[in-house]
């Protein structure tokens, strides 16, 4: 995997998780980096989200490091703000940077006090372990119920973009995401980086749904340290956007693919909307429908539920012009059952990857969403998350 220059990574077990598995990670840029982030829009925001916003504000969009823990969301706790601030200060001291240059981040259970001393004690060991190739170790440390590591990287002309993310439940379009950290060695000003990030999020994390829940901690942060020497200007801005899009889309798709308990990855493509926004609303309703998701789990070609979900999306379309394809097989033409080989389609629906294509027949608007099916596994994972 290609990694951007000028970043070091590290992970350690600080004792926050009940099981002994790395739960604290650092991502450090050798030089001050431009930084931009998108945070949850939940009214309840975890302390690290509030502190991270304040730090970016204070620095005008510069950062040196991301300090992230799993096992505790540091949300709805008495000491939350103090913990996020104190652990930022502790990391800053060791890295010899300003506390505002640290972006703290947390994921895990809500409402349980996070013991800052666990992080403070683990930091020296973590800092000593920092290395340019511990990217995967850091990516592993931020996972919670994920079953696989989620990373992506790509090369642009003269720069590299690489990212890591975590799923798996509580993911909903319309806000940032779960946790994602994207690093690049391109040189770009904070304001321009923010704009590129917004575009990338709109086409990736905002097109993702696992269960319709939205976390209190969702954060997607990008650090651009310029170590490649390649400046992003109007000449190569499109290439930079394309690389950022590619990494964010890959990460978002990996989250859907590893949705809690998922046995199928589902790509929903809606075309023929009056505009892209309408197509996205239809795609989102289908992606969030528990009835569609359980049908996919059961390899059931129940296209009526897809039409039904489109029907309550709030978009005013004509069912009589709507067609639906499952695994590229036309199952519904102009709102009515098409003729197809059902046993053959059921076989195709047993594939890990499922494609749903809906054509609304009322314009050129289109949108793609990613989700997963709803299985027993989701319930097993979430019925006993804390216990």
CA 69: distance to chain centroid? 16
Beta bridge partners of 195: none
Least distance from C-beta 11 to its own copies, angstroms?
25
Least distance from C-beta 306 to its own copies, angstroms?
10
Residue carrying the six token digits 């009526």:
304
Least distance from C-beta 374 to its own copies, angstroms?
6
Least distance from C-beta 216 to its own copies, angstroms?
5
Answer whether 314's CB lies under 8 Å from 270's CB. Answer: no
Nearest Cα neighbor of 137 from 222, 269, 25, 35 is 25
Residues that bind its own copies (CB under 8 A): 41-45, 73, 75-78, 109-113, 169-170, 172, 175, 211-216, 288-291, 294-295, 297-298, 300-305, 307-313, 315-317, 319, 332, 335-337, 346, 374-376, 378-379, 381-387
Whole-Å CA distances, 236 to 43, 59, 161? 37, 26, 14
Least distance from C-beta 369 to its own copies, angstroms?
16
Query: Is 177 a catalytic site residue?
Result: yes
Q: Quick one: 221 or 295, whose CB is closer to its own copies?
A: 295
Say how many C-beta atoms besides its own lie within 10 A of residue 339's C-beta: 8
Least distance from C-beta 40 to its own copies, angstroms?
8
Q: Quick one: 71 or 99, whose CB is closer to its own copies?
A: 71
Least distance from C-beta 348 to its own copies, angstroms?
15
Answer whether 264's CB lies under 8 Å from 297's CB. Answer: yes
CA torsion 118→132→218→188, rounded to 10°? Answer: 130
Q: Quick one: 250 or 294, whose CB is closer to its own copies?
A: 294
Alpha-carbon gap, residue 94 to 29, rounded angstroms: 14
Q: Quick one: 95 or 315, whose CB is closer to its own copies?
A: 315
Alpha-carbon gap, residue 217 to 109, rounded angstroms: 11
Q: Quick one: 234 or 387, whose CB is closer to its own copies?
A: 387
Say how many C-beta atoms besides its own lie within 10 A of residue 352's C-beta: 9
Beta bridge partners of 36: 222
Answer whether 208's CB lies under 8 Å from 256's CB. Answer: yes
Q: Quick one: 242 or 291, whose CB is closer to its own copies?
A: 291
Nearest Cα neighbor of 103 from 43, 46, 62 is 62
What percent of the chain is helix, strand and coil (3-state, nearest 5)?
Answer: 35, 25, 35
Marked catalytic residue, from 87, 177, 219, 371:
177
Tell me which H or E stretch contains 130.
Answer: none
Tell me which H or E stretch contains 304.
Answer: helix 303-311
Q: Where are the beta strands (DSSP E) in the chain?
A: 7-12, 24-39, 62-70, 102-107, 150-156, 159-165, 179-184, 219-224, 265-273, 323-326, 329-333, 336-337, 353-359, 365-372
Q: Quick one: 129 or 340, whose CB is closer to its own copies?
A: 340
Least distance from C-beta 258 to its own copies, angstroms?
17
**Angle, helix 303-311 to helix 290-297, in steps of 10 degrees:** 160
Q: Quick one: 153 or 289, whose CB is closer to its own copies?
A: 289
Active site residues: 177
């Amino acid at each position: 995997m290609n990694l951007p220059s000028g970043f070091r990574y590290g992970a350690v077990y600080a004792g926050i998780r009940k099981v002994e598995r790395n739960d604290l990670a650092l991502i450090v840029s050798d030089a001050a980096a431009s930084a931009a982030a998108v945070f949850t829009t939940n009214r309840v925001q975890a302390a690290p989200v509030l502190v991270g916003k304040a730090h970016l504000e204070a620095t005008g969009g510069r950062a040196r490091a991301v300090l992230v823990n799993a096992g505790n969301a540091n949300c709805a706790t008495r000491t939350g703000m103090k913990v996020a601030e104190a652990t930022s200060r502790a990391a800053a001291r060791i890295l010899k940077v300003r506390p505002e240059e640290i972006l703290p981040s947390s994921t895990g259970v809500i409402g349980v006090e996070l013991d800052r001393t666990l992080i403070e004690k683990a930091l020296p060991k973590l800092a000593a372990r920092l290395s340019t190739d511990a990217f995967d170790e850091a990516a592993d440390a931020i996972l919670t119920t994920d079953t696989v590591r989620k990373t992506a990287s790509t090369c642009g002309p003269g720069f590299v973009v690489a990212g890591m993310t975590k799923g798996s439940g509580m993911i909903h379009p319309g806000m940032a995401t779960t946790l994602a950290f994207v690093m690049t060695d391109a040189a770009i000003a904070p304001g321009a980086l923010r704009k590129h990030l917004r575009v990338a999020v709109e086409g990736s994390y905002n097109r993702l749904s696992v269960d319709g829940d939205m976390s209190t901690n969702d954060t997607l942060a990008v650090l651009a340290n310029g170590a490649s020497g390649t400046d992003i200007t109007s000449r190569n801005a499109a290439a930079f956007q394309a690389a950022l899009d590619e990494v964010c889309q890959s990460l978002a798709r990996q989250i859907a693919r590893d949705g809690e308990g998922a046995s199928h990855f589902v790509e929903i493509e809606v075309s023929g909307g009056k505009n892209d926004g309408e197509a996205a609303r239809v795609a989102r309703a289908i992606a969030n429908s528990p009835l569609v998701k359980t049908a996919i789990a059961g390899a059931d070609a129940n296209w009526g539920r897809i039409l039904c979900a489109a029907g309550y999306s709030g978009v005013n379309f004509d069912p009589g012009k709507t067609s639906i394809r499952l695994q590229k097989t036309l199952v519904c033409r102009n709102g009515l059952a098409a003729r197809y080989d059902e046993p053959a389609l059921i076989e195709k629906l047993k594939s890990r990857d499922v494609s749903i294509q809906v054509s609304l027949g009322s314009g050129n608007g289109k949108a793609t969403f990613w989700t997963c099916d709803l299985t027993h596994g989701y319930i097993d994972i979430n019925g006993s998350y804390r216990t």
